[in-house]
């Protein structure tokens, strides 16, 4: 979570999977309720929700989950871990994360403009997969000339840096998959058991 930014509640989520009969390993066989697994757009919180009666949301659907009238979701049941996602949801997750990053480009380009050192030997930019010391220095040197305005501007100015949205999406996915990851840049702390 970037410093200086208060944790924001999820208002909108992306549907990852619709489970018409609920979770498979449940021991209760009576009255299985349909479930929706989704990822929040603000902090990438993975959650399980109950849809309104008769509603079958498709993967990728944006659903409103904030306070107020909801059209698709009846209520949010709980926050879940990556391991609790269905196989279909795990396959859909990288695509939905990348869509969120692309649709919120200004928010994520700010990371390249504002990232700083984490320790005397490690910079926050190096947390992105594929960015080592050489690319980190290239980004920092170009950043001195002026802020990056878009992913396209970043790729044009920093040779060797391709598809920054994919790098960010991969980092988000890594943070969601590993509860013990040391540095969280884009996601909230996992719930404690």
pLDDT in tens, 31-65: 578 999 999 999 999 999 999 998 999 999 999 99
Better-scored residue on pLDDT, 41 or 190: 41
Length of the chain: 193
Does position 23 have pLDDT exceeding 90, yes or no? no
pLDDT at 1: 40
pLDDT at 79: 93
pLDDT at 32: 78
Q: What architecture is the 104-177 domain classified under in CATH?
A: Orthogonal Bundle (1.10)
CB count within 10 Å of CB 148 equals: 22
Average pLDDT over residues 99-122: 94
38: enclosing H helix or E strand = strand 35-40
Q: How far is CA 106 from CA 62, 152, 165, in A?
A: 20, 12, 11
Question: What gap in Å lies between CA 60 and CA 40, rounded to an integer?
Answer: 12
Does position 81 have pLDDT exceeding 80, yes or no? yes
pLDDT digits (tens, 9 = 90+) for 120-173: 999 999 999 999 999 999 999 999 999 999 999 999 999 999 999 999 999 999
* Residue % of the chain over a pLDDT of 90: 74
Q: What is the CATH number of domain 12-86?
A: 2.40.50.140
pLDDT at 67: 76
Exposed e or buried b per residue across 176-190, where buried means at least 16 C-beta atoms within 10 angstroms of its C-beta: beeeeeeebbbbbeb
Where are the domains positioned within the chain? 12-86, 104-177
Mean model confidence pLDDT for the chain: 89
pLDDT at 92: 96
Average pLDDT over residues 167-185: 92
Does position 6 have pLDDT exceeding 50, yes or no? no
* Residue % of the chain over a pLDDT of 70: 91
Sequence-separated (6 or more) residues with CB below 8 Å from residue 109: 148, 149, 150, 151, 154, 164
Task: With cut-offs at 50, 70 and 90, classify the pLDDT of residue 30.
Answer: low
**Are β-strands 73-79 and 12-19 bridged in parallel, bridged antiparallel, or unpaired?**
unpaired
Does position 97 have pLDDT exceeding 80, yes or no? yes
Q: Is 83 left (phi over 0), alpha (psi -120 to 50) or beta?
A: alpha
């Amino acid at each position: 979570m970037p410093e200086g930014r208060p944790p924001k509640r999820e208002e909108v989520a992306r549907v990852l999977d619709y489970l018409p009969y609920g979770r498979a390993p449940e021991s209760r066989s009576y009255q299985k309720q349909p479930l929706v697994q989704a990822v929040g757009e603000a902090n990438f919180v993975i959650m399980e929700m109950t849809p309104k009666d008769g509603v079958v949301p498709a993967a990728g659907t944006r659903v409103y989950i904030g306070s107020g009238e909801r059209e698709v979701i009846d209520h949010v049941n709980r926050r879940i871990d990556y391991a609790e996602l269905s196989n279909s949801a795990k396959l859909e997750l990288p695509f939905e994360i990348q869509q969120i990053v692309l649709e919120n480009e200004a928010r994520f380009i700010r990371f390249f403009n504002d990232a700083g050192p984490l320790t005397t030997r490690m910079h926050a930019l190096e947390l992105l997969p594929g960015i080592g010391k050489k690319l980190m220095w290239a980004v920092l040197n170009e950043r001195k000339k002026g802020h990056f305005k878009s992913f396209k501007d970043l790729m044009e100015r920093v040779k060797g840096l391709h598809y920054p949205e994919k790098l960010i999406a991969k980092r988000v996915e890594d943070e969601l998959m590993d509860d013990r990851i040391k540095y969280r840049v884009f996601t909230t702390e996992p719930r404690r058991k």
